[in-house]
Amino acid sequence: MNTWIKGNDYQLIYDHLLECVQHESPQQVIERFRALFLMGYTYPDRQIQEAMDRIVTGAREADHFRPFMNRCCHILINRWQSRPLLQGAVPQFLAMLQTPVGMPAGGLSRTPMVRKLRLLVKDYLESEAFQKLQRVVQFLQEDAQDTCQIQQNGDRPLATLIRRYPYLYNHCLVGDDTPPEELRYIQEVQQKATQEFEMNLSHYLTSEFRRAQGHQNIPPIKNPTLLSAEEVKTSIQHFVGKVDGRHTYRDLASQFEQRLQRLKSTCDFRDAFFHYLTDTTADVGRGRFRQRFYQYLETLPLFQQPQPLNEFTIVRTCSQTLNYLVVESAQNPNHLVFVDLLNTIGTAATIGLLLKIVLLSRKVKPYLEKRFAILFNHYQSFSRGKVRWLVNCLEHFNIAHVTHFGKLDFSFFAHW
């Protein structure tokens, strides 16, 4: 019986907010939300206030309240965002949520209830769910700016570049409680953004190649990346050309896959995997990184004793290697190895090292994208100029992504 009442209370408030946002001005709705969620004792509708009280009383843990408040916020934002004339209400609403509200005076009869409500709201505002909501709002409002304009706005936060990196959408914008219509919209934009970048890069490279051959009558096409023209050229040659002078990244992955068929144990795989990643890149194949990386592989539980080699071993090794090379988790965002690699072998070669892993096991591609999302979220409030190294990584991975997982063939530009 209690579960039914609780669920009914949730739905009652969802329906109430939907009715209000459809028929009242944004200012009226924002004030309603403030009264119901932040103040806790000034709401004019007694039935709704009582439903909220039951929800707050029944929320023994903050985990139960977060998805409820998150959906309430989405109900309003989705409605306003879908109507151009009302989109300005969204930042006003977010600003209201983050405006401090003091605890009520001790003499108020509802003080215990209000205190608990505000603690629950405070927990939501500090949660990953609210951070995702903010990123979605930024994503919805940020135009696909011209790259020249982006370069001139280096003081803007990194978060404003999210549209440029479709491979981050699933990890930075989507959560378990993302409304279906919002999820569909994000997926549509993701597919479109990926295709547009692939086409724009192909047109740009074709134009630059022909101009380099002396066809000066061809009008220049804007560089679709945030890299310099020379950096784009170097990146393309690196990802589709002979990385070791003889083999492309695809060649190396294919050769290693054939070798896997002859390996008999996990320890054999460990050593072969180590050489696959380190032997073809000179600066990686020697020095302290090589030694530390092998020591890391030796510590993995999978290799503590010989076992038959299977797909689980390969996928697990690849994912744990990405933890080591990039970043382990949002809770432990240590990425010193990654930064050291960037400083030692350069951005393109570092991304190439990660590409080797993904080409060996396509199943860990989303896992690598998640590593980049963790770094993006970690630095999202930093100005673009201060994390230029990360922007360069994301731009290089954009190129590596379309050249290896897109629909167009970029191999022609290997010998540019």
The model's confidence at residue 148, banded by pLDDT at 50, 70 and 90, is: low
287 pLDDT exceeds 70? no
Q: What is the mean pLDDT of residues 333-361?
A: 95
Asked whether residue 4 carries a pLDDT value surpassing 50, the answer given is no
Q: What span, in angstroms and rounded, lies between the C-alpha atoms of 210 and 218?
A: 8
pLDDT, residue 5, reads 44
pLDDT band at 152 (very low <50, low <70, confident <90, very high): low
Q: Using the predicted structure, report yes or no on whether residue 398 has a pLDDT greater than 60.
A: yes
* Per-residue confidence (pLDDT) for residue 108, from 0 to 100: 58
DSSP conformation letters of 261-316: TT--BHHHHHHHHHHHHHTTSTTTSSSHHHHHHHHHHHHSGGGSS--B--HHHHHH
Does pLDDT of 6 surpass 60? no
Residue 1, pLDDT score:
31
pLDDT > 90 in the chain, percent: 59
Task: Answer yes or no: is pLDDT of 107 > 90.
Answer: no
Q: Comparing 94-98, 130-134, 191-195, 384-388, which segment has the lowest mean pLDDT? A: 130-134
Between 45 and 4, the more confident residue is: 45
pLDDT one-digit tens code per residue, 158-170: 988 988 999 999 9
Question: Residues with Cβ < 8 Å from 268, sequence gap 6 or more?
Answer: 309
Predicted confidence (pLDDT) per residue in 205-222, tens digit: 999 988 878 777 788 899
What is the C-alpha to C-alpha distance for residues 319 and 60, in angstroms, rounded to an integer?
36
Q: In this predicted structure, which of 129-143, 144-158, 290-304, 391-405 has the lowest mean pLDDT?
A: 144-158
143: pLDDT strictly greater than 60: no
Query: Which of 90-104, 280-294, 322-336 shows the highest mean pLDDT?
Result: 322-336
Q: Where exactly are the structural domains of the chain?
A: 2-126, 180-415
Per residue in 52-106, pLDDT tens?
A: 999 998 877 777 899 899 999 999 998 898 788 898 899 999 999 988 776 555 4
**pLDDT tens-digit map of 8-58:** 899 999 999 999 999 999 999 999 999 999 988 879 999 999 999 999 988
Q: What pLDDT does residue 283 have?
A: 62
| SS3 of residue 242 by DSSP | coil
Residues 6+ apart with CB under 8 A from 106: none
Nearest Cα neighbor of 129 from 72, 190, 44 is: 72
Q: What is the pLDDT of residue 102?
A: 66
